[in-house]
A and B are shown apart, each in its own frame.
Chain A
Amino acid sequence: MTEYLIEAHNLTRQFGRRRERVTAVDDVSLGISEGEVLCLVGESGCGKTTTGKLLAGLLKPSSGRIRYQGQDVWTQDKESFRKYRLGVQIIHQDPYASLNPSHTVHQILSAPLLHHNLVNGRRQARERVVELLQIVDLTPVEDFLTKYPHQLSGGQRQRVSVARALTVNPSFIVADEAVSMVDVSIRVSLLKMLSRLRMQLGVTFLFITHDLALAKFFAWEGRIAVMYVGSVVELTSTPELINNAQHPYTKALLAAVPEADPNLTRRKKPITLRSQDIPSLRNLPPGCRFHPRCPLFEEGLCDRVAPKLKSVGENGHQVACHRVTG
């Protein structure tokens, strides 16, 4: 068994009490090796962000375990937890909400450096801040040090967020829809910067997105996990998933991705689902969560038993579907 940097075992998270209770993440297990990039793809509300926050230790799991560098995150001692806390960082989706409006860029970046004694004094902190801003391509640095977040564009803010995450030298970064709220024209350069960080600093990424095209671009050498209503339905390497998707939901997603060429898009055959409605988290269908929409639905099986992730074919291609057999 390969050693993972961070892994989740039967991770479950519920919100609310009694009748209001919803299960946002249901029995998710996955592992990410050092230096790898894993993409989490799915519709909004399927539990991607919750999974990311659980892995980043910002939410406690209702049940299940998270192990970081082989240690159980929520039962380890204080010192190890601190190592985990700083080793795992998150980049938020909304660059307009993730920076404190009353601090300058320099204050935002130097606070963690000084708090954790990662630098010796203010002078060194400033040097490190300059270095970080160069890493995230915010140059000339002098133009940005004294700026407040409201004076920056969305893309620039997102770069500051990335620089802030890098202050504590993390080994694992959860990028929660990190580029979905910036202009399309800036997306690619942001993604390239993140890829560069991955190469240069050897940072492991969990890249959360709803856009399969982005996942394909960012994680070509990595893996993609497709989530549907709280659980992972398909998990495999990116090229395999794009070219040889097995789960009917993944197939439907792939068929729905628009192509730049309108002729190509028009010729694409959409997969007809039996229903367009995503089930409510309050009222989940029995058995396979996808069965009310699934074109491969088989009565008596799919609406009775929930399928587990199982390997099909080689290369660890995992699918959770009764009708797909390897």
Chain B
Amino acid sequence: MASNTAAANGLSRFLSDLGHSFRIFLRNLTRNKVGFVGTLMILGFIFLAFIMPYFVPAPHKADITKIYERPSREHLLGTDSQGKDIWAQIVHGGRDIVVMAFLTGMIATFIGVSLGSLSAVIGGPLDSFLTTLADVWLTIPRFPLLAVLAGLITLNNIITLALILAVLSWAGLYRAIRAQVFSIKERDYIEAATALGLGLRHIIFSEILPNMMAYIAINFTLAMTAAIYAQVGLVFLGLVPLTRNWGVMINLAWTQGAIFFRDSIYFIMAPVVAIALFQLSIVWMSRSLEEIFNPRLRAGR
């Protein structure tokens, strides 16, 4: 009986602790209004891309009688050149973009953070080699290279595409992270950790990285936005054969001469606005991430 109450006490304390940290998390999230709006918008886009497709039927059927219709109750955003519902295309075309953006951001950040911190901490020939490589890499025009690569490799799935985009963007991130690690590793608390014999792994992961989380989060969002533009660009040029995607919509609108018809404004503007809003929400969300990862704010004032 006694142990039962103890366990119950422990559980309730655990739950209240959890509730407490969640409240702190929420407070930091909402501290920055712009960041909070961005986060809500991101959640909205995730909902749109992953949940909505179950409720909105895929736009398979063309209907010649309903070409370029204006928005109505039946067609929220009107119809395209084949009479397909534009809203349904937006709903079904978001998943690739969202998944690919997160994936590219993750891989690019991972490469940048590991190479950047290794380079700064180990130094010597490795550092010189990587820095030189990064400098050369940054001079390569990325988009034409991507276009050439698209001819060599069949970029028909988002994972390959995300990997390639991430690898192509490593250099900028690497330099940013390396500089940051260089400035942190000279601080007194790192020296104290060395004197305490805490070891290289502890120093990198427990002493240096936590102080860069806000910085890493921001670079993560920047990598995401760059990835979205790159992917949409490739799809628009028709170099990546992905089906149903906001980029494909722009491409179709373009090739079918949407820019010549005033009626087709909804067809071409819907994906453009969707992409722009998604980018905006990512950039805004990074403001909230900054607050969350700032230790000065984490525990409240």
Q: Hey, which bits of chain A sit against chain B, CB under 8 A?
A: 56-58, 82, 85-86, 88-90, 92, 94, 97-104, 111-112, 115-116, 146-148, 150-151, 161, 164-165, 167-168
Contact = CB atoms under 8 A, between A and B. Distances in A.
B202 interface: yes
A168 B210 contact: no
A102 B187 CA distance: 13
13 contacts: A82-B197, A85-B197, A90-B192, A92-B191, A92-B192, A97-B187, A98-B188, A103-B210, A111-B206, A148-B298, A150-B295, A164-B196, A165-B192
A150 B297 CA distance: 10
B191 A146 contact: no
Given A90-B191, A97-B187, A101-B211, A148 B295 contact: yes
A168 B211 contact: no
B198 A115 contact: yes
A71 B161 CA distance: 58
Interface in B4-37: none
Interface residues of B, number: 22
B188 A92 contact: yes
Nearest to B296: A150
Interface string B171-212: 000000000000000011101111111110010001100110
Contacts of B210: 100, 102-103
Contacts of A90: 191-192, 195
B299 interface: yes
Contacts of A89: 195-196
A298 B188 CA distance: 43
A58 B189 contact: no
A94 B195 CA distance: 16
A41 B151 CA distance: 71
Contact of B202 (A115, A147, A151): A115
Contacts of B298: 148
Contact of A112 (B188, B196, B295): B196
Contacts of B193: 100, 111
A97 B298 CA distance: 19
Nearest to B207: A100
A92 B192 CA distance: 8
Contacts of A104: 299
Contact of A99 (B189, B195, B197): B189
Contacts of A100: 189, 193, 207, 210-211
A86 B197 contact: yes
A115 to B, nearest CB: 5
- Most chain A CB within 10 A, of B192, B195, B199, is at B195
B292 to A, nearest CB: 12
A167 B196 contact: yes
A79 B211 CA distance: 31
A217 to B, nearest CB: 25
Contacts of B299: 104, 146-148, 151
B189 A98 contact: yes
A97 B296 contact: no
B188 A58 contact: no
B13 to A, nearest CB: 14
Contacts of A167: 196
A56 B195 contact: yes
Nearest to A96: B188
Contact of A102 (B191, B198, B211): B211
Interface in B44-68: none
Nearest to A93: B188
Interface in B100-121: none
Nearest to A53: B191
A101 B191 contact: no
Kindly list the 10 A-B residue pairs having the minimum CB-CB distance in the complex, ordered from nearest: A102-B210, A98-B188, A102-B295, A97-B188, A92-B188, A85-B197, A112-B196, A100-B189, A150-B296, A90-B195
Given A103-B210, A111-B202, A115-B198, A98 B295 contact: no
Nearest to B194: A58
A151 B298 CA distance: 12
